[in-house]
């Protein structure tokens, strides 16, 4: 395996396949789910072939090996985001479950009818629906920070909403549609000054940017393995230890208990207090391998590569008559370009691009309120990652000209 961005594309077996006979694959849908390097695939395969057993419970050799691999991945994640202790790394199924864990455990224990939660118009549904459910069940009030025409949060409106003394502020670090990178440290400091806790949806940021939770300023951070070169089926909730200690359990069953009697139970220590049942062991091993792979490349280098790539992509896309790209300029966004082409539905764009082997996403990208804000039913979205190149951008542009010609 390489540890160079210049040659890392060869680490991803799927990128060598053809999309159709004689048509190479140009994968521009990493915002939905990234591809996996050989090291991650091999780590999970080796686990199943040589080390599989249930974790935390056995004293035989396989159980001890499996536990060491699984818990070793937690140590890797702790280092990756610079958490103060491994106890703060809670494994979930994905970022969505991590946010729901906060909504069901922390919020229901600490909020009451009439308390306010501040969200934004650019949120993924995963950071909207849990709070709508909470509002329907206990009567909390939801406020929303507007998005400006250039795809940024309206910070004046945010400051005004904070005067209403919300108990929680929850927002995305990086928009999965606009690519907007929000100023988390400033937003969190303002929220704390207003007496609110802060939850950050890091599903799009942790895979692409250096994230240090000890400087970020958040109280909760959610992210998923499958967007950061890891497998599906596992995600992470990071939270401050004192919050996790005080929060009630989320689900009940094996592994999250210390003692059970017919009269009741005592929950386990962190992080296992929130990890009921047999965990996604192979997926945990894969996440650890993914984190090690990204660490080897260096997240500063990954971010710089994507910044250069999105700058080039925006320049090329803006050359095409009728194309409109949404969101801020390259210096304010990550590697995401959501766009429309005049006179062509985004689904038609994606279908024609696929004939040329160019894989993009079309739809509302689980952000319907944001699309409504821009009076759009859908967009096409090209999302870039560490294995993409300028050649991929050029193939996208060539294919878009074919779309224009076909629908002219």
Residue 131 has what DSSP assignment? H
Spatial distance between the Cα atoms of 342 and 329, rounded to a whole number of angstroms: 21
Tell how strand 141-145 and strand 116-120 pair up.
Answer: parallel
DSSP class of 285:
H
Task: Out of 366, 376, 389, 402, pick the active-site residue.
Answer: 366
Neighbours of 39 (CB within 10 A): 17
Question: Which DSSP string corresponds to 381-404?
Answer: EEE--TT--HHHHHHHHHHHHHHH
- C-alpha of 139 from chain center: 28
Helix or strand (DSSP H, E) at 161: helix 155-162
Q: Running DSSP on this structure, what letter comes out for residue 144? A: E
Would residue 366 show up in a list of annotated catalytic residues for this protein? yes
Which residues, including other chains, have CB under 8 Å from residue 6's CB and lie 6 or more apart?
none
Cis check: omega of the bond before 152, within 30 degrees of 0:
no
The helix/strand/coil state of 219 is coil
Task: Catalogue the active-site residues.
Answer: 366
């Amino acid at each position: 395996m390489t540890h160079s961005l210049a040659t890392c594309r060869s680490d991803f077996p799927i990128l060598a396949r053809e999309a159709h006979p004689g048509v190479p694959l140009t994968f521009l849908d990493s915002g939905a789910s990234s591809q996996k390097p050989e090291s991650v695939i091999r780590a999970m395969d080796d686990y199943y072939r040589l080390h599989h057993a249930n974790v935390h419970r056995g004293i035989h050799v396989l159980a001890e090996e499996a536990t060491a691999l699984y818990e070793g991945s937690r140590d890797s994640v702790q280092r990756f985001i610079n958490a103060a202790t491994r106890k703060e790394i809670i494994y979930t199924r994905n970022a969505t479950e991590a946010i729901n864990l906060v909504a069901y455990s922390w919020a229901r224990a600490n909020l009451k009818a009439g308390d306010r939660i501040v969200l934004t118009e650019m949120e993924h549904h995963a950071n909207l629906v849990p709070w709508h459910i909470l509002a329907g069940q206990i009567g909390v009030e939801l406020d929303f920070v507007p998005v400006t025409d250039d795809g940024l949060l309206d910070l004046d409106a945010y400051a005004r909403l904070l005067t209403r003394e919300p108990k929680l502020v929850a927002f995305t670090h990086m928009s999965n549609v606009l690519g907007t990178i929000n100023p988390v440290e400033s937003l969190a400091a303002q929220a704390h000054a207003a007496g609110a806790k802060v939850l950050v949806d890091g599903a799009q940021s942790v895979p692409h940017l250096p994230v240090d939770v000890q400087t970020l300023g958040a109280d909760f951070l959610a992210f998923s393995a499958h967007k950061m070169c890891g497998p599906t089926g596992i995600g992470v909730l990071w939270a401050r230890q004192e919050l996790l200690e005080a929060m009630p359990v989320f689900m009940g069953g094996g592994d999250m208990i210390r003692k059970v009697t017919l009269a009741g139970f005592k929950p386990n220590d962190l992080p296992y207090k929130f990890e009921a049942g047999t965990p996604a062991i192979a997926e945990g091993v894969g996440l650890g391998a993914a984190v090690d792979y990204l660490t080897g490349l260096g997240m500063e280098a990954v971010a710089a590569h994507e910044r250069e790539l999105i700058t080039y992509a925006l320049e090329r896309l803006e050359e095409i008559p009728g194309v409109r790209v949404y969101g801020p300029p390259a210096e304010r966004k990550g590697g995401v370009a959501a766009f429309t082409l005049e006179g062509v539905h985004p689904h038609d764009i994606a279908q024609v691009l696929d004939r040329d082997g160019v894989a993009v996403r079309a739809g509302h990208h689980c952000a319907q309120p944001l699309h409504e804000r821009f009076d759009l039913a859908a967009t096409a979205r090209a999302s870039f990652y560490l294995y993409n190149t300028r050649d991929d951008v050029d193939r996208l542009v060539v294919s878009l000209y074919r779309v224009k010609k076909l629908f002219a």
